[in-house]
Amino acid sequence: MSLLCPIDFRYGRPKMKAIFDEETRLQRLLDVEAALARAEAKAGLIPADAATEISKRATTKRVTVSRVEELEKETRHDLMAVVLALTEACEGDAGKYVHLGATSNDIQDTATALQLRDAIRLLERDLDELINVLAGLASKHKRTIMLGRTHGQAAVPLTFGLKMAVFASEVARHRDRLREASPRIVVGKMSGAVGTGAGFGPKALEIQATVMSDFGLGVEEAATQVIGRDRYAEFIAILANLAASLEKFCTEVRNLQRTEIAEVAEAFETRKQVGSSTMAQKENPIASENVCSLARIVRSLVIPALENVPLWHERDLTNSAAERILLPHACVLIDEMLARTTEIFRNLRVYPARMKENLEATKGQVMAESVMIALVGKGLGRQEAHKVVRDAAQRARTKDAHLRDVLASDSKVMKILSKKELDAAMDPARYIGESPAIVDAVVKRVR
């Protein structure tokens, strides 16, 4: 069989892909049918031995994917094919009780909740791992001084550890969002055709509660024929937001790996890895670029997820095809991206010497704010101090001179600051503020 989608052969890790494969999906549908039968038996709606038989037969060893596919070709209804396949697998008269009172989405949406529950558990582990890696880099480099950049221009010094702490804190927020939203996302229903529960009789709410309790799922408190698709839209939006952050982190790696910056670099297997088919010297940040590329796909899934929310009346089928694509793809791709980003930062090559060189290459320009603050500390007005330093910085750039030398020749500056005080104000190591303390606080909180 030829493969078309790159997720089938290029992207995605086995554990996440297994949650959404065809056989697992079928097993989840069968799990829900079995749980429904047990709940109905408990409520006295069907015989207990029928529920036992249905539960026993509700496995893909008895109800195969191939048989369901055969029946779907006949019925042109995917869930009815599952119902018929399970019915014929049951012995005695148990089969006549399969799916009693239920509508398709009672089974399908609850099965989806089980898949999302399992996917979220994997994603939480992924997030924990990435946070630990970033926190480790933050601690290791909390005093590694580098050039801060705003608008693509040299700004003031910071530490590489602080940069990593910013990333770790951002990932921790995504972890919080996912945890906070999970009770709204991992929700099932068992309330019949348009959500009234009429098909289950007076014990409808009891049956629904029993089924969801069986799985540890939340309950859609007021459903139409389907679970509210705002829940899925929220989930996809959280993953899209996370994808944006992962692209942000990997874009930073790509920029810092630029030849003219060269402060960090992705790992590169020097003996075998090839950077270019023609330029033999190349070591390209391909893993980071891959994450950035996949992020665009994950973010694009927000639109169909939102468009699935306004269904007609109690439901229509316009959400179905889109969800078959967007839910598995979003989970599989974000899992892949998290794993790749974790490996990028786990094996990141960091070059403190190059960071120092780039700081020094600015010839003191990045210490302008520090000098201004020092002048204000000695009594000069803030606005006047800003003008003095700004004029000196422009003269230094025009002469291609070091800012320290220009300031040292400025009588107005030297009347206020001693040479020792000027040297201290020009020292990047003295102007990283609370970076180490911020790193320590973030690492303590997120781990």
Q: Spell out the per-residue pLDDT of the chain, length 447, in tens.
A: 678 888 888 899 999 999 999 999 999 999 999 999 999 999 999 999 999 999 999 999 999 999 999 999 999 999 999 999 999 999 999 999 999 999 999 999 999 999 999 999 999 999 999 999 999 999 999 999 999 999 999 999 999 999 999 999 999 999 999 999 999 999 999 999 999 999 999 999 999 999 999 999 999 999 999 999 999 999 999 999 999 999 999 999 999 999 999 999 999 876 777 877 678 778 889 999 999 999 999 999 999 999 999 999 999 999 999 999 999 999 999 999 999 999 999 999 999 999 999 999 999 999 999 999 999 999 999 999 999 999 999 999 999 999 999 999 999 999 999 999 999 999 999 999 999 999 999 999 999
**Domain 365-425: assigned CATH number:** 1.10.40.30
68, 85 in Cβ contact below 8 A? yes
The DSSP call for residue 173 is H
Q: What angle do CA 379, 381, 382 make, to 5 degrees?
A: 120
Residue 294 structure tokens: 């996949």
Pick from 64, 39, 63: which is nearest to 50 by CA?
Answer: 39
Identify any residues that bridge with 147 across adjacent strands, giving them in sequence order: 157
- Examine the residue annotation and report whether 151 is marked as an active-site residue of this protein: yes
Q: Is 155 exposed, middle or buried (0-12, 13-18, 19+ CB in 10 A)?
A: middle
Catalytic residue among 77, 213, 276, 418: 276
Q: Which CATH superfamily is domain 17-97 in?
A: Fumarase/aspartase (N-terminal domain) (1.10.275.10)
Is residue 151 packed enough to be buried (19+ CB in 10 Å), middle (13-18) or exposed (0-12)?
A: exposed
Tell me the HSE value of 127 on the side-chain side, using a 13 A CA sphere. Answer: 24
Q: Please tell me which residue in 2, 66, 151, 411 is annotated as part of the active site.
A: 151
- Number of residues written out for the chain: 447
Report the C-alpha gap between 408 and 411 in whole angstroms: 8
Give Cα 6 to chain centroid, integer Å: 20
Is the domain 104-147+155-266+281-350 a CATH 1.20.200.10 member? yes
Q: Quickly count: other Cβ atoms within 10 Å of residue 420's Cβ.
A: 8
What global pTM score does this model have? 0.94
Q: Catalytic site residue 141?
A: no
According to CATH, where is 1.20.200.10 located in the chain?
104-147+155-266+281-350
Residue range(s) of every CATH 1.10.40.30 domain in the chain: 365-425
Q: In degrees rounded to 5, what are phi and psi of residue 2?
A: -75, 150
